[in-house]
Amino acid sequence: MLGSIVRHAHCLSRMGRRDEQIGLLRQLRDDRRFTRTKDREGALAELAYALREAEQYAEAADLFRQLQHLAEDQYGTAHLAAILAQFDLASCVGLLGDPAEAVRMLDAVVRLQGSTGDGTGFVPVLLRRRLCTWTGMAGDPHAAARGLHDLARTSETAVGQHAYLTLGCRSRAAHWTAAAGDVPYGIEELTRLLPELDRRFGPGTPEARDSRESLAHWRALVRHSLPPTG
């Protein structure tokens, strides 16, 4: 029963009825009948992601923290479910205004994941990319750019030159290189990458949208810095 309700909540999200989805999932969270059911963690995760999308970061962080503890109790601290819960929790902490703490948490997550296997698969690249992003947002764009350039090469080896993850790493590397002072390089690289992202994955994908916004930002900055003419 719970599984079907969670699926219905997911459908509400796809229909754009986010508030209804969140309301339904909150009711499930508070319903004692479902406290020990096997689908409860899925319902909590669905609610956490919905709240994050709705920019209700404090409540989402509380749920990701619960999911982390549940996964650690059931599977151990190094299990992928526990690692991903910490990953999402760190992002919420950063979005709540503490990017330095997000960096600290993500660094710990990356180290923990690295102790369980190699660092070249999809998950380790994803974790390290988020760490680089928050490093830049915490005030060190040079370190973010260096890390993302290295990560793009790692991703190319792991999943391919034209993979979504690789192109995304290159796009973010271009953004933070511009933020570190080399705006012409950032604009040139984003100008190359955006058509490929649009063609391969569609203009509505997150990487394409982020790249388009980044390119528009840096182009506008250059225009505004030019001396007036005429």
Instruction: Say which residue, 18 or 127, is predicted with more confidence.
Output: 127
User: Which CATH architecture describes the domain 125-230?
Assistant: Alpha Horseshoe (1.25)
Whether 26 and 11 have beta carbons less than 8 Å apart is answered as no
Average pLDDT over residues 168-186: 97
Tens of pLDDT, residues 56-73: 999 999 999 999 999 999
Tens of pLDDT, residues 128-164: 999 999 999 999 999 999 999 999 999 998 889 999 9
* DSSP tag of 117: S
Amino acid at the residue 189: E
How many helices and strands, by DSSP H and E, does the chain display? Answer: 11, 0
Average pLDDT over residues 106-118: 87
